[in-house]
Structure 1
Amino acid sequence: MNHDEAAAVRPLTLAWVSRHLEAGERIVKAAALHGGSTAEMRRLTIGMRDGGTRDLVLRTYVDPFYVEHAEGGLDGEAGALTLLTGTGVPAPSLVAVDPTATQCEFPSLLMTHLAGRTVLDDQGVETRVRLLARQLVAIHALRPVERPREYVTLTTADTVVVPKGADAAVWTAAIDVIRKPAPPCEGRFLHRDFQPGNVLFDVPPSHPEDARTTGVVDWAAASWGPADLDVAHCSVNLALLHGPAWGMRFAEAYEEAGGVLAATASERLYWRVRDALAASEEVRSVSQPWREAGRAELTTRAVEERLDAYVTALMDAPG
């Protein structure tokens, strides 16, 4: 098997993957995939009996913190990928999962590889925002026979990290918003980490306006809850990647695509503020993969400043 040192597949895991291939197939190459923050990702090229190749993706949790929580995440992703089969949502197909590392060195999941790539550049963001909105509306329209687990939100008023130099009054008011109970909501099928880093695109180099969505990945947190929560999560990621105005724009694009948000402005504000404040705890871990992907200007400090501006925009918005 050909591979670079960083992409080497561990022996037990290699044997496990091999047991889930078709007769006569073998792994001929492994390449590291970059951009994730919680697990090692590898693309495995599989040599087929007819001489052709196909690709699979291997997700492996190795960091002790994430290994401790891997079983729930991998079971959740495996369940979500199973539910998504045949729905028309462009998600990977599940091949195999070992959530407790009974056969592999570490908890692992094997799935099919999707065409396309993540696009994090500012160029073409207007087109991609519309595509993201349409894709999210399609996800929220799913009504699986078996619902995934209920959504969770971990951020509390006491865990928010106020950026250096932020307007204390604005952030105090924002934190007060999430001290209130969550508004009642109509449940929807949620991706729960829907954002540009988890959506694949095909973008023709000479015609970026003809971009199309080719896949949605990383379904480990799929759950059942308010559509506003997925919209809020994508909004804050767009705000940090491309500027606060794009974070504010996404909810509009979602509704233009046919999505339905909470009935009142105060309810919509609750979810958008909640996810923005959740981002305050993850600025460093979120921004590092973006820099590795080529967005060198998105330093931790730059992202903190964008988050501050976005929270201020939310709190200043009419209604």
Structure 2
Amino acid sequence: MSDHDVAAALRPRTLEWAGRYLETGERIVRAETLHGGITAEVRRLTISTRDGGSRDLVLRTFVDAEHAEEGLLREAETLTLLTKTRVPAPELVAVDPSAAHCEYPSLLMTHLAGRPLLDDAGVAARIPLLARHLVAIHDVRPARRPARYVTWTTADTVVTPRGADPATWAAAVDLIRAPDPACQGRFLHRDFHPGNVLFDGAQAGSQPLRLTGVVDWVGASWGPADLDVAHCCTNLALLHGPAWGLRFARAYEEAGGELAAAADERRYWLVRDALAFSEDVRLVVPAWRKAGRPELTAEGVEERLAAYVAALLEARG
């Protein structure tokens, strides 16, 4: 890629800003769009080094997102915090949360090996790794607590999928009308799901599968572990089928994680997160298709969502 091509891929002020954080003699020689994001543009920047080699950085740019400044400040603080933990996360290089130097709010960080794995093959091997790393996230004890968690839906904004049983969805909506259960707070990723997790190695063979990184920390917050678990459960249920969502909650506990003691409280968080997806399915599915699941359709995922919510309610008692 020529300098002209790099300049065309990156906005001029952003390119100049990122260049300030390179070593003497280095330059950006390639900018590759990474798929899977919904609210931000994510690009891998290849840097030509003085010794003739190369290294990579990752640039996140929020072009049209509310609360970008708050989110990027939170992510920058979180990446700094996580360097002292066993959670594999990128290292912060620079942040411009208010777009003082870039065209849009941006964050520059180190690049981690690996890629998201969203295909059905190998999901059974990935679930224990996801569970163990989520437990590690919840074990983080920051000196200063992040902001309190935010739920992403209300009983009045839930959208009933076409073909879903109205009575089942009415019961699910009634369930989340109750106040959030009291909980023991934990450090949360708040958007932990397979699309924000990187894997390296083979799922079978001589190279063991490794979880190499957890990315996208703009939602880091403080709240119930059940909320992070529920979000990953819903994603797994929609990507691979309802049974996989239910299985992840068990895997989390098997990995040493602690969920709400009462079954009704655990169900509350699972149902609340699932209902939040009713509003966003048609935003999420295109990102999944670009990330390697072209066979998924909004209609098919809505069918899985309806089946998953029904399974959660059938598990009563």
TM score, norm. by length of structure 1: 0.95
SS of structure 1 residue aligned to 2:60: strand
Give the Cα–Cα distance (whole angstroms) in 1 for the partners of residues 37 and 9 of structure 2.
17
Which residue does the alignment assign to 1:55?
Answer: 56
Identity of aligned residues (%): 70
Which residue does the alignment assign to 2:89?
Answer: 91
1:111-122 correspondence runs (5 A): 111-122=109-120
1:20-59 correspondence runs (5 A): 20-59=21-60
Q: Could you list the per-position Cα deviations for residues 147-189 of structure 1 after superposition, in whole angstroms to 9, with x for gaps in the alignment?
A: 1111111310000000011111111111111100100000101
CA contact (8 A) 2:138 2:186 kept: yes
CA contact (8 A) 1:190 1:230 kept: yes
- Note the C-alpha offset of 1:237: 0.1
- Note the C-alpha offset of 1:51: 2.1
SS of structure 1 residue aligned to 2:176: helix
Alignment of 1:223 with 2:221, yes or no, is: yes
Give the Cα–Cα distance (whole angstroms) in 2 for the partners of residues 250 and 158 of structure 1.
28
Q: Which residue among 192, 205, 219 is the counterpart of 1:194?
A: 192
Which residue does the alignment assign to 1:237?
Answer: 235
1:33-182 correspondence runs (5 A): 33-63=34-64, 66=65, 68-182=66-180
- Note the C-alpha offset of 1:50: 2.1
Give the Cα–Cα distance (whole angstroms) in 2 for the partners of residues 262 and 193 of structure 1.
19
Unmatched tracts of structure 2, length 5 or more: none
Q: Could you list the per-position Cα deviations for residues 129-151 of structure 1 after superposition, in whole angstroms to 9, with x for gaps in the alignment?
A: 11100110111111111211111
Give the Cα–Cα distance (whole angstroms) in 1 for the partners of residues 234 and 45 of structure 2.
33
- Note the C-alpha offset of 1:21: 1.5
CA RMSD of aligned residues (A): 1.6
CA contact (8 A) 1:39 1:59 kept: yes
Residue range with higher mean Cα deviation, 234-243 or 12-21:
12-21
Alignment of 1:2 with 2:2, yes or no, is: yes
TM score, norm. by length of structure 2: 0.96
Change (3 A) 1:207 1:256: same
SS of structure 1 residue aligned to 2:279: coil
Q: Which residue among 202, 205, 218 is the counterpart of 1:204?
A: 202
- Note the C-alpha offset of 1:205: 6.1
Give the Cα–Cα distance (whole angstroms) in 1 for the partners of residues 39 and 88 of structure 2.
22
Unmatched tracts of structure 1, length 5 or more: none
Q: Which residue among 257, 260, 263 is the counterpart of 2:258?
A: 260
Aligned-partner residue type, residue 312 of structure 1: A
Give the Cα–Cα distance (whole angstroms) in 1 for the partners of residues 92 and 2 of structure 2.
24
- Note the C-alpha offset of 1:6: 11
Change (3 A) 1:156 1:206: closer
SS of structure 2 residue aligned to 1:210: coil
Change (3 A) 1:225 1:257: same
Aligned-partner residue type, residue 24 of structure 1: G
Aligned-partner residue type, residue 179 of structure 1: R
- Note the C-alpha offset of 1:47: 1.6
- Note the C-alpha offset of 1:88: 1.6
Change (3 A) 1:208 1:282: farther
CA contact (8 A) 2:6 2:30 kept: no
Q: Could you list the per-position Cα deviations for residues 267-301 of structure 1 after superposition, in whole angstroms to 9, with x for gaps in the alignment?
A: 10110011000011110111111111231221000
Aligned-partner residue type, residue 192 of structure 1: R
CA contact (8 A) 1:6 1:32 kept: no
Give the Cα–Cα distance (whole angstroms) in 1 for the partners of residues 105 and 291 of structure 2.
26
CA contact (8 A) 1:7 1:42 kept: no
Change (3 A) 1:230 1:205: closer
SS of structure 2 residue aligned to 1:43: strand
Equivalent pairs, count: 316
Q: Could you list the per-position Cα deviations for residues 35-84 of structure 1 after superposition, in whole angstroms to 9, with x for gaps in the alignment?
A: 11111111011122222211000001112xx1x32111111111111111
CA contact (8 A) 1:13 1:105 kept: yes
Give the Cα–Cα distance (whole angstroms) in 2 for the partners of residues 2 and 128 of structure 1.
39
CA contact (8 A) 1:137 1:254 kept: yes
Aligned-partner residue type, residue 29 of structure 2: V
SS of structure 1 residue aligned to 2:192: coil
CA contact (8 A) 2:203 2:209 kept: no
